[in-house]
């Protein structure tokens, strides 16, 4: 785990008034950036948006970092989709995956006294008040007890109580950055809110961590920490400390291709075993949730976000990327209707249009599934993905929501998986765990 640190944060705004005030200040800064941009454009019509995007990204991220919680989590989620935001936002928001400003010692003591009735130094033999990683919802500290090295994750104060109000405050920023309709964001934010409420319940996370790590225990080259429910609470999780590097640090060592493939295979198997055998999946595939251990294994250190897949979603969705469904227009349209990608009120011309575009999209997404081995290091596949995503983002037909709500996290999961495999430049066997009905 990284020891890189940023400036310590002494307090977090917790009231609606304080948090909305932080957003208002950010909004004023963003407005000022636009005024400066268009003033410059009067004298230089050819000036691009790079400086504007960089300024806005910095100002918005600074505010979200202070607020933490769901506001910062949304930034983290957006940063994972390299086709959704301008690069300046991706670069800035991705900091929330690893290195948000950590909390100070007094706030940590307050949290322990609230849930355990005593300070961490009275519970553990050793407890380092300096956090090793600080992200959107919580931060991690080293500890020791009875000779065991432990990782203690502490949730930021007020995070769970402010989810709904924070998402309402984030919405205008997301609307402006993403350029989509408010109706789109309502559907997106509702699903995000449900998952975030689960993600802030650390007692639920411990139960899920034990359940999923047990179910995945036989996967090759995948390891999990042991969890300690007796040393955990609704806002604190204690687990074994795993030694290792995050992906960003690991890739800087220029690892050999054999090791890249090994880790890529472990990651592919981890996700597809869950999707196809458990029908529920670790739905937060950002690099900060994984460690590469010194012996070349993939360490999974966070099960806060789990997305369950009901049969009425799983069957039509994965039928499109297996078997011969895409080769049969009637079967394909039936699956699109079940997934609400084609609506009952669509005209014949609209059905024809959406069938054509969605078939192209699914065919592109399914490329890794239709061959026994796939090289995620090839740039052409991702160039095609990003180009297609950019093209449909400009189509007025896609400014209104289509598809059932489950797409939000399942698409996030699979494209997040693809992106990490691409960063690894891994070649993996994709027929190890296949869809079945």
Shared domain check, 271 and 176:
no
d(CA 95, CA 309): 30
Structural domain includes residue 46: yes
> Mean of the pLDDT values across residues 19-41?
51
Shared domain check, 248 and 185:
no
Q: Is the pLDDT of residue 239 over 90?
A: yes
Shared domain check, 285 and 344:
yes
Cα distances (Å, whole numbers) of residue 91 to 174, 271, 324, 401:
16, 26, 40, 27
Structural domain includes residue 111: no
d(CA 60, CA 84): 17
What length is written for the chain?
Answer: 437
d(CA 78, CA 202): 23
Burial of 372 (0-12, 13-18, 19+ CB in 10 A): exposed
Contact between 172 and 27 under an 8 Å Cβ cutoff? The reply is yes
Which of 177-186, 278-287, 405-414 shows the lowest mean pLDDT across its residues?
177-186
Structural domain includes residue 233: no
pLDDT top residue among 24 and 160: 160
> β-pairing, 222-223 with 298-300?
parallel
> Mean of the pLDDT values across residues 119-136?
89
Name the residue range of residue 383's domain.
244-437
Residue 41 pLDDT class (50, 70, 90 cuts): very low
d(CA 163, CA 284): 17
Among candidate residues 318, 344, 328, the one with its CA nearest the CA of residue 437: 318
Structural domain includes residue 9: no
d(CA 154, CA 109): 10
Structural domain includes residue 218: no
Q: How many domains does the chain have?
A: 2
Residue 190 has what pLDDT? Answer: 76
Residues 6+ apart with CB under 8 A from 129: 105, 108, 141
The DSSP code for 228 is -
Residue 248 has what pLDDT? Answer: 87
> Mean of the pLDDT values across residues 138-143?
91
Residue 1 has what pLDDT? Answer: 43
Helix, strand, coil percent values for the chain (each to nearest 5): 55, 10, 30
For the chain, percent of residues with pLDDT exceeding 90: 50
Structural domain includes residue 372: yes
Structural domain includes residue 145: no
H helix count then E strand count, the chain: 15, 12
Shared domain check, 328 and 423:
yes
Shared domain check, 173 and 38:
yes
Shared domain check, 170 and 35:
yes
d(CA 414, CA 365): 9
Shared domain check, 373 and 272:
yes
Q: Is the pLDDT of residue 100 over 50?
A: yes
d(CA 417, CA 285): 6
Structural domain includes residue 423: yes
Contact between 68 and 137 under an 8 Å Cβ cutoff? The reply is yes
Q: What are 65-96's pLDDT values in tens digits?
A: 665 555 566 655 554 454 445 565 556 555 54
Helix (H, G, I), strand (E, B) or coil at 52: helix
Residue 29 pLDDT class (50, 70, 90 cuts): low
Q: Is the pLDDT of residue 37 over 60?
A: no
Phi and psi at residue 150, in whole multiples of 5°?
-125, 155
Cα distances (Å, whole numbers) of residue 154 to 100, 109, 141, 231:
14, 10, 8, 12
Among candidate residues 431, 432, 430, 425, the one with its CA nearest the CA of residue 376: 425
Q: Is the pLDDT of residue 39 over 70?
A: no
Shared domain check, 59 and 185:
yes
The pTM of the full predicted model, rounded to 2 decimals, is 0.78
């Amino acid at each position: 785990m990284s020891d890189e640190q940023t400036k310590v944060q002494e307090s977090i705004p917790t009231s609606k008034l304080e948090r909305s005030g932080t957003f208002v200040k950010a909004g004023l800064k963003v407005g000022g950036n636009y005024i400066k941009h268009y003033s410059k454009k009067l004298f230089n019509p050819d000036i691009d948006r790079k400086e504007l995007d960089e300024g806005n990204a910095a100002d918005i991220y600074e505010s979200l970092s202070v607020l933490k919680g769901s506001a910062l989590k949304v930034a983290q989620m957006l940063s994972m989709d390299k086709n959704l935001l301008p690069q300046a936002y991706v670069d800035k928001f991705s900091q929330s995956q690893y290195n948000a400003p950590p909390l100070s010692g007094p706030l940590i003591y307050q949290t322990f006294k609230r849930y355990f009735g005593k300070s961490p130094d009275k519970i553990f033999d050793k407890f380092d008040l300096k956090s090793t990683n600080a992200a959107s919802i919580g931060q991690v500290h080293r500890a020791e007890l009875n000779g065991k090295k432990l990782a203690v994750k502490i949730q930021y104060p007020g995070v769970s109580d402010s989810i709904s109000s924070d998402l309402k405050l984030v919405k205008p920023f997301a609307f402006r950055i993403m350029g989509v309709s408010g109706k789109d964001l309502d559907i997106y934010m509702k699903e995000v809110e449900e998952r975030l409420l689960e993600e802030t319940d650390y007692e639920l996370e411990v139960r899920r961590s034990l359940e999923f790590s047990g179910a995945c225990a036989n996967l090759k080259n995948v390891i999990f920490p042991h969890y300690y429910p007796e040393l955990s609470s609704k806002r604190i999780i204690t687990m074994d400390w795993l030694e290792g590097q995050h992906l960003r640090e690991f890739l800087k060592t220029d690892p050999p291709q054999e090791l890249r493939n090994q880790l890529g295979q472990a990651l592919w198997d981890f996700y597809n075993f869950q999707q196809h055998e458990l029908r529920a999946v670790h739905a937060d595939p950002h690099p900060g949730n994984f460690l590469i251990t010194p012996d070349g294994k993939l360490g999974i250190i966070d099960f806060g976000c789990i997305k369950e897949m009901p049969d009425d979603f799983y069957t039509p969705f994965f039928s499109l990327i297996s078997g011969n469904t895409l080769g049969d227009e009637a079967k394909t349209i039936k699956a699109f209707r079940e997934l609400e990608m084609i609506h009952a009120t669509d005209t014949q011309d609209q059905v024809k249009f959406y069938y054509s575009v969605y078939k192209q999209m699914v065919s592109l997404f399914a490329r890794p599934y239709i061959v026994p081995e796939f090289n995620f290091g090839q740039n052409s596949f991702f160039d095609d993905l990003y180009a297609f995503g950019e093209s449909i983002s400009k189509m007025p037909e896609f400014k209104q929501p289509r598809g059932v709500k489950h797409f939000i996290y399942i698409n996030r999961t699979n494209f997040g998986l693809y992106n990490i495999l691409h960063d690894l430049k891994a070649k993996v066997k994709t027929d190890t765990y296949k869809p079945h009905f």
